[in-house]
A and B are shown apart, each in its own frame.
Chain A
């Protein structure tokens, strides 16, 4: 760790966030012939330690003799204050080297509301924010992750950006940077070489053009630059490296457990869901490989919980047999198996029953919309009948607490759809009274988020509801859900608005972000830190209107600032889906039904890869 922080540790909350020395942390010697990369997570340790993508990269990079990867997280506000007072720059956990001493600093873009933290971390590290301000001694600052598919609002802060899956391209990047550093090549030369690597985007080599206050086009500044950057995708998960060791944190962090990714991608095709669009196709990991990884990770970490992770784990072809086998092996030794992201079907209840044999804590379902009509619009293929069977089954099996996730502000939504949410919550409570076997009173939690249109989804053209309208809908629901047994939660509309601005934004927003950070905005996803007033001030100061970004509906003919950043989807497919949505016609999953012609498999020469066997039994 950074010994300069030692005297500050007694003065901060949760000092174990900053002390390192965790089991399986890699402390590699720094030397001239090694390339060094800091994996920078733009939130605190407690949140960032859960991120599987960085665990994978950490193990791949440190698996190379010629490379070092270290971790860095955003210090919490109390530590930031002390670091500034004592003039201590941001450093990496393992060696305590300053962030600015690394060859590469890689940020993951998981969420739009973490963007302020990126600038804050660069500020604390003493690294110039903008790529145009950086000199030969500064690290190359790179970004990846889901939000890279519209990196434009923050493109000016990154020397280069990687689209898609990192497992293969990371080697190409490290090899190239190492070779060029050895030749003492300058930044521009290195970036020019990087721009030729498939999946790599160098924003400073392109210039956006605006006309009448709207994005018009993106012009390459050099000959030979790709006009469309295709994401990187791996064909087969089984041949991919997956860590056999995780760093085991001392401090309490979220998702502190063995995590094995059992499948990647989802083709359910929910029309609001960006993950379901950008991570295609579906690739399942072989159950034998999964069991071996679980065994190795259990042994190297000592965790007591095993989580089988993916976008929709119930869709894994052999999920039943896999879960049963893992329970047989591990449940006896005081360990548990968990399945996040379970879809709502009767099989899910069966699985949950196996998993939560002893303590039935609660079941969470995401119908997303209150009526069948609206569920067809968003292509959430869950029927009223499914809901009824599943919820009744869950109460019969002994659960007493059901949590339901919904969205408001979805395209074509009417009052009837809001009533549908209310009605469903009441019906669930009623089913609870009729079918429960638990002595506890049935409880229903209704959690309502505001729809945020995201780039590369069929709903990318749709404007977000206004704050007034969202607030009115929340009030409408709150009024009608006020009764014993029902708890109603909702997300703050202002945060969803900001998320929408950056999700569909362009490069002009970089100035707003800088201004907001200068005024003190950071940790925007933490409601006690979120300063909407300062954000509004920042927009005013720069002369941009947040509503224009978030709430404007776009014409399909209009150029989109993110169209060059390609997850392999055909715009025609998105448009078809957008039209089907408006007609309320669902689209089936291409895993089990016909091809939806999204073009990913064709464009990127990959295919859905399912394991043998059938789901259920």
Chain B
């Protein structure tokens, strides 16, 4: 048995405008309210041992956030889920939890792909399909990215792995996009907007999956369920 737990949680409309730091703080406080014995780092200013998947942008919903918590003692995942969910602020919910084997790679190292659902209330399937054909015809889609060290040119095309589904919904469509996330190559939501032609403020965006991707194989960080998606 191990003292570490990996879990998947959702971030609903009540808390979608919290920053990554706000989420960390809210979780720390929920742990303390739940009296769950989180482990602390050694040293002068002990910090709870918690690590999260790549930060979700402010204003975006999620059904697939991940975190690893290390506890001071053995922790039963079902027990953790029940007690933590009871004390989490409304809008957060732990969906699944399991024990994490010692020496498992961190979420930041593992996760490199995300599945986004972009709900565009006033866009038709035809418009999206045309847009995608336009992208297919291109060799590159270079934008200037602002970083702390100044501007840098980035080609966005290789960061978009594909559109896996277009679903009609009301007068608009839900577009499911697989894209790079994390340190190896990260597509920002506003850049996804540039590729598909929407402004993030008008769309309702949900992160519905995060994966470890190896070639065309995608595996969930928890439960190890997989699927195959071949880029064209």
Contacts and interface: CB of A to CB of B under 8 A. Distances in A.
Nearest to B26: A250
A299 interface: yes
Contacts of B214: none
A301 B33 contact: yes
B91 interface: yes
Contact of B89 (A22, A304, A334): A22
Interface stretch (B40-48, B107-115, B153-161, B175-183): B40-48
Contacts of A302: 28-33, 87
B14 interface: yes
Contacts of A10: 58-59, 200-201
Given A15-B59, A248-B29, A302-B31, A9 B45 contact: no
Interface stretch (B16-24, B96-104, B138-146, B219-227): B16-24
A538 to B, nearest CB: 36
A252 B23 CA distance: 11
Contacts of A358: 44-45
Contacts of A21: 14-15, 89-91
Contacts of A7: 201
Nearest to A358: B44
Nearest to B45: A359
Contacts of A15: 17, 58-59
A251 B26 CA distance: 9
Contacts of A16: 17-19, 22
Given A10-B58, A21-B14, A303-B29, 7 more contacts: A15-B17, A16-B19, A16-B22, A21-B91, A23-B29, A301-B29, A334-B46
A536 B15 CA distance: 44
A304 B25 CA distance: 10
A300 B33 contact: yes
Interface in A556-615: none
Contacts of B18: 16, 250-251
> Which of A19, A250, A304, A359 is most buried by chain B, counting CB atoms within 10 A of its CB?
A250
Contacts of B14: 19, 21
A209 interface: no
Given A15-B59, A16-B22, A21-B91, A299 B33 contact: yes
8 contacts: A21-B15, A23-B89, A252-B22, A298-B32, A302-B32, A333-B32, A334-B48, A359-B45
Interface in A349-390: 358-359
A11 interface: yes
B201 A11 contact: yes
A281 B14 CA distance: 44
Given A15-B17, A16-B22, A250 B89 contact: yes
Interface in A538-558: none
A301 B26 CA distance: 10
A333 B90 CA distance: 25
Interface of B: 14-15, 17-19, 21-22, 25-26, 28-33, 40, 44-46, 48, 58-59, 87, 89-91, 200-201
Interface string A1-36: 000000101110001100101110000000000000
B9 to A, nearest CB: 15
A11 B45 CA distance: 36
* 5 closest residue pairs by CB, A with B: A302-B29, A302-B32, A15-B17, A302-B33, A21-B14
Interface in A447-506: none
Nearest to A300: B33
Interface string A332-348: 01100000000000000
B153 to A, nearest CB: 26
Contact of A251 (B22, B40, B90, B91): B22
A19 B45 CA distance: 31
B46 A19 contact: no
Nearest to B19: A16
B204 to A, nearest CB: 11
B21 A252 contact: yes
A420 B15 CA distance: 53
Interface in A234-261: 248, 250-252
> Which of A248, A301, A334 is most buried by chain B, counting CB atoms within 10 A of its CB?
A334
A301 B89 CA distance: 11
Contacts of A252: 21-22, 25
A300 B87 CA distance: 10
A9 B59 contact: yes
A380 B129 CA distance: 76
Contacts of B22: 16, 250-252
A7 B17 CA distance: 12
Contacts of A298: 32
Contacts of B44: 358-359
Contacts of B32: 298, 302-304, 333
Contacts of B46: 334
Contacts of A359: 44-45
A101 B18 CA distance: 29
A18 to B, nearest CB: 8
Contacts of B91: 21
A250 B15 contact: yes
Contacts of A11: 201
A366 B120 CA distance: 58
B80 to A, nearest CB: 16
Contacts of B26: 23, 250
A137 B89 CA distance: 36
Nearest to B27: A302
Nearest to A357: B44
Contacts of B201: 7, 10-11
Nearest to A7: B201
A60 B18 CA distance: 29
A549 to B, nearest CB: 43
A23 B201 CA distance: 27
Nearest to B41: A334
Contacts of A333: 32
Interface string A303-332: 110000000000000000000000000000
Nearest to A9: B17
Interface in A266-306: 298-304
Contacts of A23: 26, 29-30, 33, 89
A29 to B, nearest CB: 17
B117 to A, nearest CB: 17
A359 B43 CA distance: 10
B69 to A, nearest CB: 14
Contacts of A301: 29, 33
Contacts of B89: 21-23, 248, 250
Contacts of B19: 16
Nearest to B38: A334
Nearest to B57: A10
Nearest to B88: A23
A22 B25 CA distance: 12
A248 B59 CA distance: 20
A21 B90 CA distance: 7
A302 B25 CA distance: 10
Nearest to B30: A302
Nearest to A15: B17
A600 B87 CA distance: 46
Nearest to A8: B201
Contacts of A250: 15, 18, 22, 25-26, 89
A304 B47 CA distance: 11
A247 to B, nearest CB: 11
A251 B29 CA distance: 13
Contacts of B33: 23, 299-302
Contacts of B28: 302, 304
B220 to A, nearest CB: 28
B75 to A, nearest CB: 16
